[in-house]
Amino acid sequence: MTDNQQPLVDMRNISISFGGIRAVDDVSIDLYPGEVVGLLGHNGAGKSTLIKILSGAYPMDAGDIFVDGEPVTINNPRDAKDLGIETIYQTLALADNVDAAANLFLGRELQTRWGTLDDAAMESACRQVMGRLNPNFQRFKDPVKSLSGGQRQSVAIARALYFNARILIMDEPTAALGPQETAQVAELIRHLKSEGIGIFLISHDIHDVFDLSDRVNVMKNGKLVGSAPVDVVTKDEVLGMIILGKCPPQVRPGPGAVATDTSVEAVVSGGG
């Protein structure tokens, strides 16, 4: 990221309420090309709600969204997809009983001029995009239910890439994966970064965020506590942001940051 580089996405002063509860309160975050931005926070912190606004699942009450520096309106998931924003959900939304190519074109199948499914064209396209993303993938004919967790992630990401995603939202991408499969997902993310794709990574796992992200944003009670490159903060400091809303001096504080001298250790031990 350079100082004169323009963000892929810039979400400014985003707010949304449900039944009088402010789920997201005046949050601003951005994402640059080839960058992974981690979103951390307890359940109910607002991170998933914020990202659902970007993906078109929820309409925001207030705020502005810019893509490539231009103001945009995202009223539904189709609007998001048209802007190159794709979401890879934790469940992956794959059809287990069919192969990778069928999943790549699920709901958008290619047809021959006679109106039948063009299986050959879909497999060829699948091989092309998978070769770009995961050259070691060879199980094109197998139903995806027989694939490993890392391979299934490859299929879900390939589907987004084929339809020209430039901004990926990844929801707990390594949840329930073993060490080897987690390493496969990390390699996928490195491939995506090298192509200039920006990634929002939603996770409860500090280790995941530190391993995979360039920057971390912490939310608490619907507000942004702070944002910082992962190489200037420790995991303990980020834990303090999550639990207490306390920003260390080197972190840019958000509206949700609080001034406190209470230590993380005191809270964990029950002394604070």
Q: What is the pLDDT of residue 149?
A: 81
Q: What pLDDT was estimated at residue 265?
A: 45
Taking residues 170-189, what's their average pLDDT?
80
133, 165, 197 - which closes a domain:
165
Is the same domain home to 158 and 25?
no
- How many whole angstroms separate alpha carbon 124 and alpha carbon 34? 27
As a whole number of angstroms, the distance between CA 88 and CA 81 comes to 12
Q: Give the predicted TM-score (pTM) of the model.
A: 0.84
Using DSSP bridges, classify how beta strands 198-202 and 167-171 pair: parallel, antiparallel or unpaired.
Answer: parallel
SS3 content of the chain, % helix, strand, coil (to 5): 35, 25, 40
pLDDT at 208: 83
Question: Looking at the domain assignment, is residue 196 inside a domain?
Answer: yes
Q: Are residues 221 and 155 in the same domain?
A: no
Name the domain boundary from 115, 137, 165. 165
Is residue 130 located within the same domain as residue 208?
no
Does 1 fall in a domain?
yes
Is 268 within a domain? no
170 and 80 in a single domain? The answer is yes
Beta pairing, strands 215-220 & 198-202: unpaired
For residues 115 and 5, membership in a common domain is answered with: no
Shared domain for 152 and 18, answered yes or no, is no
Confirm whether 244 is domain-assigned: no
Residues 63 and 197 in one domain: yes
Tell me, what's the pLDDT at 266? 42
Q: What domain range includes position 215?
A: 1-84+166-235+249-257
Query: Residue 65 domain-assigned?
Result: yes
Neighbour tally for 97: CB within 10 Å: 9
Q: How many Å apart are CA 14 and CA 224, to the nearest integer? A: 10
Give residue 61's pLDDT band: very low, low, confident or very high (50, 70, 90). very high
Which residue, 140, 165, 190, sits at the end of a domain?
165
Overall number of domains in the chain: 2
Same domain, 178 and 253: yes
- In the prediction, which pLDDT does 7 show? 94
Confidence of residue 268 (pLDDT cuts 50, 70, 90): very low
Q: Are 100 and 223 in the same domain?
A: no
241 part of a folded domain: no
- Residue 4's pLDDT is 57
Instruction: Note whether 146 and 227 are same-domain residues.
Output: no
Strand partners, 91: none
Is a pLDDT exceeding 70 seen at residue 233?
Answer: yes
Q: For residues 160 and 180, state if they share a domain.
A: no
- pLDDT of 262 strictly over 60: no
Determine, yes or no, domain membership for 170.
Answer: yes
**50 with 107, same domain?**
no
Q: Is the model's pLDDT at 15 over the cut of 90?
A: yes
CATH number at residue 55: 3.40.50.300
**Once rounded to an integer, what is the mean pLDDT over residues 189-209?**
89
Q: With bands split at pLDDT 50, 70 and 90, how would you rate the model's confidence at 92?
A: low
Would residue 263 count as lying in a domain?
A: no
Nearest Cα to Cα of residue 241 among 47, 35, 30: 47
